[in-house]
Amino acid sequence: MTFKAVRADKTEAGQEVRFVEMDESELMDGDVTVRVTHSTVNYKDGLALSGKSAIIRRFPMVLGIDLAGEVETSGHSGFSPGDEVILNGYGLSETHFGGYAEKARVKGDWLVKLPEGLTRAEAMAIGTAGYTAMLAVMAIERHGLTPASGPALVTGAAGGVGSTAISLLADKGWKVIASTGRASEADYLKGLGAAEIIERATLAAPGKPLGKEQWAAAVDSVGSTTLANVLAQTRYGGAVAACGLAGGMDLPTTVAPFILRGVSLLGIDSVNCPMPVRLEAWRRLAAGLDPRKLAAMTQTIPFDEVFEAGRRILRGETRGRLVVTIG
């Protein structure tokens, strides 16, 4: 039995990423085999699809950091043939074959049963980006912050993490400030719940160690100078949940926000997040994410268009979520 996949191979010239036909015997070790029906295109996927990224840590590698599908065979006590499942993180597309294939063999301990109330397509419309946004919101809540604490900023607002974070925060009563470099997306962001739009450039240039206190909480998917400026303008006792590096891995800041204003930097890891927290995030997403807003932020593409989608996401030409129909 052969199946279609997007695979990266190591060559003398670097990486070669292309559609290939693979055999089930080529799948990696695991106790559950899944017929994949849906995946996504995230920023990380765009990097891998470019063939120029160092995120792939072994070759050959099937790309795609998300998948949803139906269990075909299982040697795991928690799953049976016919179960609908989703998977993100755990090294997919880095050290273990990912979701850009019609078949996947994975460890059952990594899988989450499709939450009640969601279709596979909707679960992938949420995907790693939406799940990460929920982890960020949960971290802010654990810090003790509420809408009464002040506004919440969301950077990279038109992206997958940003779009979902705006919706989640606004529906919980937060006044959301959305930072974007695309003024044309203002109506879209306000439709998700943003109360105010600010220009990305106001946070992208090097700033002072401390600025005017603006927001009590923030979800940042950009990093680098943007994150430094977000920290510098966070209110006393506030917190910033950092979950991305679209702007770079560096952090050109000082200790001033931390020791003079008691600001906290909350790191968000979606890849190896413990299963109890993972399950709680998915439970809350299934129960609390407005399906109309989810539909508004979602575009569905066929498998054959995944390379072009990857190029567009790296150019900043996409918004919200991209769902890929695989099988």
Per-residue pLDDT of the chain (327 residues), as tens digits, is: 899 999 999 998 889 999 999 999 999 999 999 999 999 999 999 999 999 878 899 999 999 999 999 999 999 999 999 999 999 999 999 999 999 999 999 999 999 999 999 999 999 999 999 999 999 999 999 999 999 999 999 999 999 999 999 999 999 999 999 999 999 999 999 999 999 999 999 999 999 999 999 999 999 999 999 999 999 999 999 999 999 999 999 999 999 999 999 999 999 999 999 999 999 999 999 999 999 999 999 999 999 999 999 999 999 899 999 999 998
On whether residue 59 sits in a domain, the answer given is yes
Question: Does residue 27 sit in the same domain as residue 149?
Answer: no
Q: d(Cα 267, Cα 242) in Å, to the nearest integer?
A: 5
Inter-residue contact 244 to 219 (CB < 8 Å): no
Structural domain boundaries enclosing 10: 2-114+297-325
Which class for 220: exposed (0-12), middle (13-18), buried (19 or more C-beta within 10 A)?
A: buried
- What pLDDT, on a 0 to 100 scale, did the predictor assign at position 14? 87
Residue with tokens 């989703």: 86
On whether residue 120 sits in a domain, the answer given is no
Q: Name the domain count of the chain.
A: 2
Question: Does residue 108 sit in the same domain as residue 141?
Answer: no
On whether residue 31 sits in a domain, the answer given is yes
On whether residue 81 sits in a domain, the answer given is yes
On whether residue 274 sits in a domain, the answer given is no
Q: d(Cα 10, Cα 225) in Å, to the nearest integer?
A: 33
On whether residue 279 sits in a domain, the answer given is no
Structure tokens at 209: 């160690």
Question: Does residue 211 sit in the same domain as residue 319?
Answer: no
Question: Does residue 106 sit in the same domain as residue 192?
Answer: no
Question: Does residue 97 sit in the same domain as residue 132?
Answer: no
- Three-class secondary structure of residue 295 per DSSP: helix
Helical residues (DSSP H) of 143-213, grouped into ranges = 160-171, 186-192, 201-204
Could you tell me which of 109, 102, 99, 44 has the C-alpha nearest to residue 75?
A: 109
On whether residue 302 sits in a domain, the answer given is yes
**pLDDT per residue over 206-258, tens digit each?**
999 999 999 999 999 999 999 999 999 999 999 999 999 999 999 999 999 99
Question: Does residue 97 sit in the same domain as residue 163?
Answer: no
For residue 232, report the phi and psi dihedrals to the nearest 5 degrees: -65, -20
Order across the sheet with 14-23: list the strands: 14-23, 2-11, 61-62
Question: Does residue 301 sit in the same domain as residue 234?
Answer: no
Q: d(Cα 244, Cα 224) in Å, to the nearest integer?
A: 10
pTM of the model: 0.95
List beta partners, residue 267: 242
Could you tell me which of 151, 144, 189, 148 has the C-alpha nearest to residue 167?
A: 189
CA–chain centroid gap for 134, Å, is: 10
- Helix, strand, coil proportions of the chain in percent (round to 5)? 35, 30, 35
Alpha-carbon torsion, ordered 283, 289, 290, 296, to 10 deg: -120
